[in-house]
Amino acid sequence: MNRVLVAEDLYLLRDGLVHLLQAHGFEVVAAVESGPELLRGLLELRPDVSVVDVRLPPTFTDEGLQASLEARRKIPGLPVLVLSQHVEQLYARELLADGSGGIGYLLKDRVFNAEQFIDAVRRVAAGGTAMDPEVIAKLLAGNARNEPLAALTPREREVLEQMAEGRSNAAISQHLYLSESTVAKHTAGIFAKLGLAPSDDDNRRVLAVLAYLHSRQAT
């Protein structure tokens, strides 16, 4: 559960990530700096989780993203946490498209908050999702005209945001200083209002919410 692969082309950041992960009990099996190396590492080492920068050599475009998608096509559900200097809904959608979970997409800034970052890494390793709050904010902004969403109470909306980022009920209750049963009540309310089938599995629940938001926006 602890074998990590790090792909980042900037030496300082790569080193920092390796130290950060090691300090939290991960075993860094490889730290690579280019797209082809990353793909080889993902397929051969099959790490429990990978922390990948979107922009990597040799082309400095979206090498890291492509390598991750490619690897996940060959090994479905291979957990990958993608880091980027900017977040795009387009990329989030591509990462979530296969619907198999074990995916994360965060701004690089989130590394500043070590606990939350490590929490996200663990969540992805366990097959969950970790979406950047900015992606979720954009997603909700794109759904501004969506009527079921507009019917949510402010508190429910907060819970929805947290849920879409990939948090479990326990994590949401910690984050919003609510009791877990209150959060459970809110999530049940949200699912009823959006017309989604309730699910006990945290991960499947998150994917359902994200799929809902994406589908409503695309029409």
Partner 1 sequence: MFGSALFPDTYGMLRKYGQVLALLALGVAELVTLASAFLCLLCVFGLGMVFLFPPQVRMARWVTGTARRLAGGSTGVVIDPPYLPEPPPPQPQADGLYRSHRTLYKTPRMPAWNDRWKWMVTDPATWRDLLWLLLDPLVKTALLPLLVLLPGRGLRVYAFWCELLLAATPASRMAGRLAHLNRARNLAVDTQAVEMRRIERDLHDGTQARLVALGMTIGAAERLMDTDPGAARALMTKAKEASAETLTELRRLIRGVHPPVLAERGLGDAVRALAMDSPLRVSVEVDLPHRPEAPVEAAAYFAVSELLANAARHGGAETVQIDISSSGPNLRVLVTDDGWGGADPSRGSGLNGIERRLAAFDGVMAIDSPPGGPTTVAMELPRVLPEYWAGDVVKLPRWKTATVIFLWSTSWLPLFPQGIVAGVAKALGSEQRSWFLALYLPEPWQWPCIAFMTLLGTAMYVVAATLPALHNREAYMCQNVPRHVLFP
Residues in 104-123 that interact with partner 1 by CB under 8 A? 108-109, 112
The residue (of 9 and 88) whose beta carbon lies closer to partner 1 is: 88
Q: What residue type is 146 in one-letter code? A: N
Is 67 among the residues that bind partner 1 (CB under 8 A)?
A: no
Structure tokens at 33: 């700096």
One residue of 147, 200, 215, 219 binding partner 1 per CB under 8 A: 219
Q: Which stretch binds partner 1 (CB under 8 A): 13-21, 54-62, 158-166, 196-204?
A: 54-62
Calpha distance 195→139 (Å, rounded): 18
Calpha distance 52→27 (Å, rounded): 16
One residue of 4, 31, 53, 55 binding partner 1 per CB under 8 A: 55
Peptide bond into 58 cis (omega under 30): yes
Residue 135: C-alpha distances to residues 18, 33, 198 (Å):
26, 26, 24
Structure tokens at 42: 């993902």
One residue of 58, 144, 154, 215 binding partner 1 per CB under 8 A: 144
| Parallel/antiparallel/unpaired status of strands 3-7 and 49-53 | parallel
One residue of 12, 44, 58, 90 binding partner 1 per CB under 8 A: 90
The site for partner 1 (CB under 8 A) is made up of 54-55, 61-62, 85-86, 88-90, 93, 108-109, 112, 138, 141-142, 144-145, 217, 219
